[in-house]
Amino acid sequence: MNSKKTYFISDIHLGLPNRKKSLERELKLVKFLDEIKNDAETIYFVGDIFDFWWEYKSVVPRGFVRFLGKIAQLTDAGIKIIFFTGNHDVWMKDYLAEELGVTILTKELKTEIYKKKFYIAHGDGLGPGDNSYKFLKKIFTNKFLQWCFTRLHPNFAFWLARKWSYNRRKKETHYDFKGTDKELLVLHSEDLLKNDYFDYLIYGHRHFPLIIDIGKSSKHINLGDWLVNYTYGIFDGKDFVLETYKNDAPETFITDLSVVKKIKFF
């Protein structure tokens, strides 16, 4: 076991649903980061840190200063911070990297941590099917369309984006566990393991936390979220575990464990 640990957290959605609720979550997140700073070597934020993020050439989103200040403090102390873009904050550019010293990743990562092989991704658009979203993602990442959006006034652009996010969220079923034979990310993990080996395959995006045995000796992991579950992952060089911060978050409402064996929900 190492004295330093690697932490994983995703789907915080700062800014949702309003300033008051977001600030409560932000303060809890800052407190959590302050508590782990002494034993953290690397912290992975695995996407959807913000419910919406857009950078103009000289304008960045208002708010989140406590969180951003804490990240700057951590990187100044030598802690490595890695931000994955998610489907809600896919438009990160260079501001956070230049100002905070974080590493920004727009694609999945294959890496080794303490001699264990990791596959890390936010998870949106991975796996078979979901063609409507995959088409939508191509629109979101189209350089010309991004240029067009940047021409909009920030007040109108942010209003439009938040309205879109709110309407989409009413239709989303992030907490609707479909069973491992239908979960797209589980199928994606199984497909990866046909040609490669990973000890841990870690995802955000689906919001509900789980660890499932997969392949010969691998583990598929959903990190959960900080809207309902307040979960995060820790790897100490030997074991990977999911924890709930302070255990004061509501219980996840996925309770039917009869659908699959070898599964652990938190």
Taking only the tens place, the pLDDT of each residue in 27-61 is 999 999 999 999 999 999 998 999 888 888 777 78
Amino acid of residue 138: K
Predicted pLDDT at 1: 60
What are the CA-CA distances from residue 182 to residues 130, 179, 186, 189, 248 (Å)?
Answer: 12, 6, 8, 12, 31
Question: How many Å apart are CA 256 and CA 61, to the nearest integer?
Answer: 40
Q: What are the pLDDT digits (tens) for 212-252?
A: 999 889 999 999 999 989 999 999 999 999 999 984 544 44
Six token digits for residue 116: 């264990």
The pLDDT-based confidence of 175 (bands split at 50, 70, 90) is low
Residue 172: pLDDT band (50, 70, 90) is low
Residue % of the chain over a pLDDT of 90: 51
The pLDDT of residue 164 is above 80: no
The answer, yes or no, to whether residue 263 has pLDDT greater than 50, is: no
**Which residues touch 41 (CB under 8 Å, ≥6 apart)?**
2, 4, 5, 6, 79, 80
- At residue 180, the 3 state secondary structure works out as coil
Of 8-22, 175-189, 247-261, give the range with the top mean pLDDT.
Answer: 8-22
Confidence band for 81, pLDDT divided at 50, 70 and 90: very high
What pLDDT is attached to residue 163? 74
Helices (H), the chain: 19-36, 65-76, 95-100, 131-140, 143-150, 154-171, 184-192
CATH 3.60.21.10 at 5-265, yes or no: yes
Any idea which residue has 């080794």 for tokens? Answer: 112
* Structure token digits, residue 171: 């239709």
Question: Rounded CA gap, 220 and 230, in Å?
Answer: 19
pLDDT value at 107 more than 70: yes
As a whole number of angstroms, the distance between CA 143 and CA 74 comes to 32
DSSP state of 118: E
pLDDT the model gives residue 262:
41
Residue 30 has what pLDDT? 95
Instruction: Look over the chain and give the mean of its residue pLDDT values, rounded to a whole number.
Output: 84
Answer with the residue of higher pLDDT: 135 or 251. 135
Model confidence pLDDT, tens digit, residues 139-153: 777 788 778 878 888
**Residue entry with tokens 């929900």:** 265
Query: Does residue 255 carry a pLDDT above 70?
Result: no
pTM: 0.84
Classify 219 as helix, strand or coil: strand
How far is the CA of 41 from the CAs of 2, 6, 9, 51, 74, in angstroms?
Answer: 10, 6, 14, 26, 10
pLDDT at 104 over 90: yes
